[in-house]
Amino acid sequence: MSANEALLIIDYTNDFVADKGALTCGEPGQKINSQILELANRTLADGGWVYLPTDVHTPNDPYHPETKLFPPHNVRDTWGRDLFGSLAPWFDAHKNHKRVSQFDKTRYSAFAGTDLDLRLRERHIDTLHLVGVCTDICVLHTAVDAYNLNYQMVIHKQAVAALTPAGNDWALDHFEHVLGAKVVD
């Protein structure tokens, strides 16, 4: 990666990955931990940027559409919203790095209601590497918005996971054949 590229580590939290997470993809999500860290380290070493858009909710929010779809998850200041596995200490060690940033998001897409597009354009970033969970929900919706904003995309299939294998496979196909993303191992 280079200075015009960014790695987006999407929603890699306890609630989405840990065995006892409220909306977990479980083992498939746990298996991608080392690949995510490898990509994060490589991105920084190559002069790229690492962003961690992280889902956040208020329990029983009557105005949020997910309240009717999913159990409470990623509630602010809870264990469920903490970064999963070895990503948590990695972030603690790098959170003051000028090219590492975690930010809240309240919708599936990391672009919806955030300043992500502005941050990327200020830094002349034109290529996004997407990893995290869930492949067919938040990673997908972020990719759709990135496509509509004319970013180039690389999806690391060994660093994404979904709630079901079918959802994961469908999203990977969609990234490549509908959004023109490069899907790599």
Spatial separation of the C-alpha atoms in residues 75 and 45, rounded to whole Å? 33
The answer to whether residue 121 scores a pLDDT higher than 90 is yes
How many domains does the chain divide into? 1
- Tell me the residue type at 138: C
- Which residue range is the domain that position 95 belongs to? 5-184
The per-residue pLDDT for range 127-142, each reduced to its tens digit, is 999 999 999 999 999 9
For a pLDDT cut of 70, what percent of the chain falls above it?
A: 100
Which DSSP state fits 43? H
The per-residue pLDDT for range 68-106, each reduced to its tens digit, is 888 889 999 999 999 999 999 999 999 999 999 999 999
CATH number of 111's domain: 3.40.50.850
Sign of CA dihedral 143, 145, 148, 153: negative
The per-residue pLDDT for range 36-68, each reduced to its tens digit, is 999 999 999 999 999 999 999 998 888 888 888
Spatial separation of the C-alpha atoms in residues 162 and 136, rounded to whole Å? 6
Entry pTM: 0.96
For residue 15, count other CB atoms closer than 10 A to its CB. 26
